[in-house]
Structure 1
Amino acid sequence: MDDDGEQYVYDEEPVVDHELERRRERGVTPAQARMKFVDFLRNFRSAPDAAAPDGRFTYRDALDQTTAPKDLKVCFDDLIAHDGELARELRIRPNEYLPILEEAVEDVLESLRPTERTLDIGGALNEEEEDRNARSTAPRATVQVKLTSKEIPRPLRSLSSSDVGTLVYVPGIVIATSKARTKAKHMTLECKTCSNRITVDVAAGYSGVNVPRHCNASASRGTQVGQEANPCGTDPFRIVPEKSVFIDQQNIKLQENPECVQAGEMPRNMSALIERTMVLSVVPGTRVKIMGVYETTSGGGSKRERGGGKVAVRHGYLRVIGIDEESEGARGDAHFSDAEHTEFKTFANRPFKEMLKDLRARIAPAIFGSDDIKAAVACLLFSGTRKHHPDGTTRRGDVNVLLLGDPSTAKSQFLKFVERTAPVCVYTSGKGSSAAGLTASVIRGADNEFYLEGGAMVLADGGCVCIDEFDKMRDEDRVAIHEAMEQQTISIAKAGITTMLNSRTAVLAAANPPSGRYDDLKTAQENIDLQTTILSRFDMIFIVRDAREYERDMQIADHVLNIHAGGGDELALVSDPVQEKERQFLKRYIEYARAVCRPRLSERAMKMLEDSYVRYREEMRERKRTGGHAAVPITVRQLEAIIRISESLAKMCLQTVVTEEHVQEALRLFEVSTIDAARSGVADMVVLSAEQREELQVVETQIKQKLAIGATMSKRHVIDDLARIGVNEWAVTRALLVMTQRGDIQERAEGRRVTRMH
């Protein structure tokens, strides 16, 4: 123990060369591994097919190209099938065997294309080339090997200290990326005094290199002639960039997939380092499966931790060897067995009406009724077909749905069901969400660099976003998702970072009217207090009302009581195999349909859609001509909405062509949702009795006496003045609405003031 009270730790065991002992016990030595890797790359054949009955030389053909490739993808499963012992050594000691694999790739390349040396007439090397070969000591860059795998990845949170230094395969989502930087792989140093050159190899990952403090060549010369031992002085070396080999590096942050995080748990994240050709290949929001080496680096502890024989705390990170990006159509486990193929095709091979009824029954079975909303949620889960045009533009295939109406109508329960069922889903609340939290943000990391971090709509790329309390969002936050909902991209220009992120996600939103309940005394514009720009981006808008009907109330009460009566035994619910099987079947069927089915419109379906769109536009035009105002505009976006709904209905049946039957159901859903919301207004409200009409005429006369032609007055002031003489407030409000509908009165200042026009 020293004077400061610190205790030194000494190794009492004798020094043993454990690496030498391991090499003796190891079945595959590095020299043998190089030959085995060469044999694998030259002779491995793929599975036989019709074009190649004996299989193809997978990796030899990939290397035997006119131009040498910069990288080579090697499937780890192929190596296991070729030589299991070699694959085991590569998995356990990747830092030792990966460079050997890249050297084997170079050997195969040289055997396929032998290098020819330039000779002069006398047979000697060209003087210029000879000088170049004599002066250059840095090795040339090698082909990068990218490892991929078809095995089931392990969770990110399962990595532990026992995995350090081994090859791991983990899934995740990229939530942040840094700027690319340059690192030396082979550094050439030159003495400033004697021009002696040496080459120093730099370890992979975050490792650096220690530059020698003294020039060995000059030191040995000085000793021979009896001069001073170090004539070149201390720190004589400088870097020769043109003779060194550099590679690109980039930091990314990998986070667990949202659907893999248990309730109440914070999602785990880990830093990852990508190099060479993989740099700038992924953006935030990309779902990936990474094959990498689990390594550790110092956390930048204090000087007390770094020296004096102390063991510093190490932080784990992944040095990426290969990246597999998940396909856009399917998320999660996109591999299906033969039994699942047969089961899904049998399920879809039924009449359309029966199929749709079965799927509706599986959507939120705990919610009574709401068959049309359940069908719309099914369309949202299956989605339409995303189109890529030759000019580079795209058309979204995701279906956006808005549920607006009274409280206690199970709007939030639909959102929670979608969160549990969708392969990829992010649930958020409008009140607690900001524009940066929904789209993307730029943050400054611990290394003082700016990182681009994706929000909810970026993390849900390829799935759906559930936004509850949509009406409670601030207007500037709601405007921020306009681009994400239609173009399905998020443009970022912050802190010198200008880029574009993908947000190919469907939106399921739930909102309440401004007064909390849907008020029949108000127009649709007042009840749907959202801007036209955001409403036009929803494919289906449902006005959900809590109708007070005796028969319906009795049915809902029986349904709720039965649910509560059967929900007392938690063990019975958890162990219910039928319910759990149906839930898993629906989730897998959605993944299967999104992965394998891409429906297209037929000629007759296109004709039906064209006629319906023209009819809707004519109806809205006539409505505007008579003084009415549609709460939801009918534009070309609504035509595309019907197309997407038709495609999703065809995808439910695993059909590749949209038929007239699918279009008819899509038009019916569009009628009961968006068209009903657009038609709602004073004229379509409760039918007035004779006494109510007479009362309204009397009130209209009093309003005209109070308000002269061309005069403007506060609406609240008009209601209060007539209330003093005994006029019912309900009658005044209804009369003002009717007069506004006819055009006798025009509202100003967002409906707070009224001006008499006639």
Structure 2
Amino acid sequence: MCRLLSVEEPSTCTHQILFPHDPNARLPEHQLLLHSSAEEVSIRDLDSMKISRLAPVPGIVIGASVMSSKASELVIQCRNCQNTQHVPVFGGFSGVTLPRQCERKRLPNDPTEKCPLDPYFVIHEKSRFVDQQVIKLQEAPDKVPVGELPRHVLISADRYLTNRVVPGSRCTITGIFSIYQNKGSKNSSTGGAVAIRTPYLRAVGIKTDIDQSGRGQVIFSDEEEQEFLEMSRRPDLYNVMAECIAPSIYGNADIKKAILCLLLGGSKKILPDGMKLRGDINVLLLGDPGTAKSQLLKFVEKCAPIAIYTSGKGSSAAGLTASVQREHTTREFYLEGGAMVLADGGVVCIDEFDKMRDEDRVAIHEAMEQQTISIAKAGITTILNARTSVLAAANPIFGRYDDMKTPGENIDFQTTILSRFDMIFIVKDDHTREKDERIAKHVMGIHMGGRGAEEQVEAEIPVEKMKRYLSYCRSRMAPRLSPEAAEKLSSHFVNIRRQVHASEMEANTRSSIPITVRQLEAIIRITESLAKLTLTPIATEQHVDEAIRLFLGSTMEAVNQGSNQGSRELNEEVGRLEMELKRRLAVGWSTSLASLKREMCEQKGFSEQALNRTLMMMQRRDTIMFRNQGAQVYRNAI
């Protein structure tokens, strides 16, 4: 029998259950599940002063062992005289010590011999057992101080508290902070000191903070809901929310809108045959260094309800998916979730995505599309949920994006991983005087006391309020496409496929960034996320237009980077022309653009297209610079 105390006077209720009025009444077996409204105690604050005290501890489950049987009452019998004893066993990790001597009462004239030492053995058939599970609870990533490792504590859960949580669940466990003697301490550095004890938490109640759909917090007050409904009616909500994404970073409007769509996500669908279609959106930022890609990832880590930030170079396949660990007491194997599992229902930010090893990057293929992680290790075969969005940042092969090369030569990713990203942005560091002046003014305003645009944006919609609004949209809305929007979207996708096929036939090569049916589903998810933002149950044609614009400005723009590069003959001509220009112009010399065109095109037979491309490429590399409003070409570097 399991009873949950939800009355105003739990102490009175507990007393009535444990001590009934009828002294002859037999108390049935029961378990009290307690939940505390007291202030939560972090794992870091569990010290010796809190031993044997009740404490609610929040965290994230990173491991859960298989269920085992623990004795609650042992029946032991003497080998010599068959004396039977009932020995109670306390809960948690506490053990029991059998009596060294027989406890049978001997009469003064008893002629039988005295029983030898250690006469008792356990009768398992008559003993009583309960289910027990060991849970590994770790600090939430957003609660760990910078520069320190996350701490964890072992949880002992029994009976009705077993199999309540899985790796990746965020919960608050109410338990009694206890200690036990670790069996492995005899071989440790303590030398088996009897005074050293290992702490653990004996659970008396488990309260999950996140529902099983992974949508985040679902408890909102009436005032909050009314405020959110009024906010959703604002005509400029889309632009204002996009400006609230990393307001200290200048520009990148479309990237911020894409990140807003990523935080909202599309609608998850379960087909009649049981197949699941993901609703989470994946975004890849690929471009030059110094374009604030990592800062955007850091902001998303703080803004998303659930987020984990990791670097590609420091991440392994097991760290991203799951690993198999051995339980310290039973020596059995159990699963310990990685970043994709712990961020279930949130966002995984992967920086330096190009620095990952190929075998580690392949490990997240299943998580990015099927949103599950299949494990078959050490005799454990199971499937873990990884319903996460992936926001990745990477650099091109040569460090900077080279406009003279195709996307296939700039991007060192396989098409299998690129097709799983809904939006791919090529971020370039263009050198224009007007843009550099605006960026410098914005950055200087922030460093001189925040007199930039940051104050106005943060005053309008604070980060915490935006975080709650995004959680409200994700938990309340699951929009669907209207028939008109679906027809418009399908016709646009057919046109996009036709354009990509025509450009591939013209260039006689396949595009390194594929346009497949996954991209059609990507546009659908973007459309649904835009409808979520305004709490609209049906996605309209206006949402489709904005989704197509974002897709054309991201993935299709990256695809078209290679369509204008020309043939191999043109690239070879550009290479020869660059060597000719370097011979023609010594360092520190200048000449007029008109005479250079006349000499190279008319006299030496180079095409004007090749000359313009060569001059643009050399200008980007700071080899030459234009003076007198572009009339003079000056050689300033090798």
TM-score of the pair, normalised by structure 2: 0.81
1:414 aligned to 2:296?
yes
**Structure 2 residue runs without a partner (length 5+):** 578-603, 615-638
Q: CA 1:395 to 1:148, structure 2 compared with 1: closer, same or farther past 3 Å?
A: farther
- Mapping for residues 329-728 of structure 1, pairs under 5 Å: 334-351=218-235, 354-444=236-326, 446-447=328-329, 448-566=331-449, 579=459, 582-626=462-506, 627-681=508-562, 683-685=563-565
1: CA distance, partners of 2:58 / 2:266: 27
Using the TM superposition, give the Cα deviation of residue 141 of structure 1 relative to its aligned residue in structure 2, in angstroms. Answer: 8.6
1:72 counterpart residue number? 2
2:69 counterpart residue number? 182
Q: CA 1:621 to 1:459, structure 2 compared with 1: closer, same or farther past 3 Å?
A: same
Using the TM superposition, give the Cα deviation of residue 274 of structure 1 relative to its aligned residue in structure 2, in angstroms. Answer: 1.5
2: CA distance, partners of 1:623 / 1:341: 49
Using the TM superposition, give the Cα deviation of residue 266 of structure 1 relative to its aligned residue in structure 2, in angstroms. Answer: 2.3
- Mapping for residues 72-111 of structure 1, pairs under 5 Å: 72=2, 74=4, 76=5, 78-79=6-7, 81=8, 83=9, 85-86=11-12, 101=17
Using the TM superposition, give the Cα deviation of residue 425 of structure 1 relative to its aligned residue in structure 2, in angstroms. Answer: 1.2
1: CA distance, partners of 2:511 / 2:364: 23
1: CA distance, partners of 2:18 / 2:401: 68
8 Å contact kept, 2:246–2:296: yes
8 Å contact kept, 1:437–1:456: yes
Using the TM superposition, give the Cα deviation of residue 449 of structure 1 relative to its aligned residue in structure 2, in angstroms. Answer: 4.2
Using the TM superposition, give the Cα deviation of residue 234 of structure 1 relative to its aligned residue in structure 2, in angstroms. Answer: 3.4
1: CA distance, partners of 2:576 / 2:145: 63
Using the TM superposition, give the Cα deviation of residue 685 of structure 1 relative to its aligned residue in structure 2, in angstroms. Answer: 4.3
1: CA distance, partners of 2:98 / 2:575: 96
Q: CA 1:595 to 1:693, structure 2 compared with 1: closer, same or farther past 3 Å?
A: closer
2:54 counterpart residue number? 167
1: CA distance, partners of 2:264 / 2:412: 29
Could you tell me which amino acid in structure 1 is paired with residue 294 of structure 2? S
- Mapping for residues 183-332 of structure 1, pairs under 5 Å: 183-217=70-104, 219-220=105-106, 223=107, 225-228=109-112, 230=114, 232-300=115-183, 301=185, 312-325=195-208, 326-328=210-212
The DSSP-based 3-state class of the residue aligned with 1:515 is: coil
Could you tell me which amino acid in structure 2 is paired with residue 226 of structure 1? D
Q: CA 1:186 to 1:640, structure 2 compared with 1: closer, same or farther past 3 Å?
A: same
1: CA distance, partners of 2:243 / 2:191: 66
8 Å contact kept, 1:360–1:371: yes
8 Å contact kept, 1:406–1:545: yes
8 Å contact kept, 1:403–1:511: yes
Using the TM superposition, give the Cα deviation of residue 285 of structure 1 relative to its aligned residue in structure 2, in angstroms. Answer: 1.7
Using the TM superposition, give the Cα deviation of residue 362 of structure 1 relative to its aligned residue in structure 2, in angstroms. Answer: 0.7
2: CA distance, partners of 1:307 / 1:158: 27
8 Å contact kept, 1:631–1:677: no
1: CA distance, partners of 2:352 / 2:458: 33
Could you tell me which amino acid in structure 2 is paired with residue 377 of structure 1? I
1: CA distance, partners of 2:233 / 2:86: 68
Question: Deviation digits for residues 165-212 of structure 1, max 9, x if unmatched?
Answer: 232222111112333322111222233344443322111111122223
Question: Deviation digits for residues 579-603 of structure 1, max 9, x if unmatched?
Answer: 5971221122122222222222222
Of 317-326 and 507-516, more deviation after overlay is shown by 317-326
Question: Deviation digits for residues 195-238 of structure 1, max 9, x if unmatched?
Answer: 44332211111112222334444x43xx25431462x4433333
The DSSP-based 3-state class of the residue aligned with 2:34 is: strand
2: CA distance, partners of 1:503 / 1:307: 42
1: CA distance, partners of 2:12 / 2:130: 28
2: CA distance, partners of 1:407 / 1:509: 14
2: CA distance, partners of 1:651 / 1:329: 17
The DSSP-based 3-state class of the residue aligned with 1:547 is: coil
What is the number of equivalent residue pairs in this alignment? Answer: 578
The DSSP-based 3-state class of the residue aligned with 1:243 is: coil
The DSSP-based 3-state class of the residue aligned with 1:610 is: helix
Q: CA 1:644 to 1:322, structure 2 compared with 1: closer, same or farther past 3 Å?
A: same
Of 397-406 and 261-270, more deviation after overlay is shown by 261-270
Could you tell me which amino acid in structure 1 is paired with residue 498 of structure 2? E
Could you tell me which amino acid in structure 2 is paired with residue 509 of structure 1? A
8 Å contact kept, 2:18–2:27: no
Using the TM superposition, give the Cα deviation of residue 377 of structure 1 relative to its aligned residue in structure 2, in angstroms. Answer: 0.6
The DSSP-based 3-state class of the residue aligned with 1:241 is: coil
Using the TM superposition, give the Cα deviation of residue 409 of structure 1 relative to its aligned residue in structure 2, in angstroms. Answer: 1.4
**Structure 1 residue runs without a partner (length 5+):** 1-70, 91-96, 112-138, 700-725, 736-758
Question: Deviation digits for residues 133-166 of structure 1, max 9, x if unmatched?
Answer: xxxxxx9993444334566643232333333223
2: CA distance, partners of 1:549 / 1:387: 46
Using the TM superposition, give the Cα deviation of residue 680 of structure 1 relative to its aligned residue in structure 2, in angstroms. Answer: 2.4
Q: CA 1:335 to 1:265, structure 2 compared with 1: closer, same or farther past 3 Å?
A: farther
Of 193-202 and 525-534, more deviation after overlay is shown by 193-202
1: CA distance, partners of 2:129 / 2:419: 51
Q: CA 1:101 to 1:677, structure 2 compared with 1: closer, same or farther past 3 Å?
A: farther
Using the TM superposition, give the Cα deviation of residue 318 of structure 1 relative to its aligned residue in structure 2, in angstroms. Answer: 1.0
2: CA distance, partners of 1:373 / 1:489: 27
Cα RMSD, aligned residues only: 3.8
Could you tell me which amino acid in structure 2 is paired with residue 336 of structure 1? F
Could you tell me which amino acid in structure 1 is paired with residue 2 of structure 2? L
Q: Percent same amino acid among aligned pairs?
A: 49
Q: CA 1:451 to 1:399, structure 2 compared with 1: closer, same or farther past 3 Å?
A: same
Using the TM superposition, give the Cα deviation of residue 468 of structure 1 relative to its aligned residue in structure 2, in angstroms. Answer: 0.9
8 Å contact kept, 2:243–2:457: no
Could you tell me which amino acid in structure 1 is paired with residue 350 of structure 2? I
8 Å contact kept, 2:482–2:538: yes
8 Å contact kept, 2:244–2:458: no
2: CA distance, partners of 1:461 / 1:546: 34
The DSSP-based 3-state class of the residue aligned with 2:132 is: strand
Q: CA 1:668 to 1:524, structure 2 compared with 1: closer, same or farther past 3 Å?
A: same
Of 203-212 and 577-586, more deviation after overlay is shown by 577-586
Could you tell me which amino acid in structure 1 is paired with residue 500 of structure 2? M
Could you tell me which amino acid in structure 2 is paired with residue 313 of structure 1? I
2: CA distance, partners of 1:333 / 1:421: 14
Q: CA 1:243 to 1:580, structure 2 compared with 1: closer, same or farther past 3 Å?
A: farther
Q: CA 1:303 to 1:387, structure 2 compared with 1: closer, same or farther past 3 Å?
A: closer
Q: CA 1:596 to 1:162, structure 2 compared with 1: closer, same or farther past 3 Å?
A: farther
TM-score of the pair, normalised by structure 1: 0.69
Using the TM superposition, give the Cα deviation of residue 331 of structure 1 relative to its aligned residue in structure 2, in angstroms. Answer: 6.7
2: CA distance, partners of 1:727 / 1:246: 93
The DSSP-based 3-state class of the residue aligned with 1:480 is: helix
Q: CA 1:317 to 1:508, structure 2 compared with 1: closer, same or farther past 3 Å?
A: same
1: CA distance, partners of 2:572 / 2:565: 17
Q: CA 1:564 to 1:645, structure 2 compared with 1: closer, same or farther past 3 Å?
A: same
Using the TM superposition, give the Cα deviation of residue 359 of structure 1 relative to its aligned residue in structure 2, in angstroms. Answer: 0.6
1: CA distance, partners of 2:536 / 2:248: 29
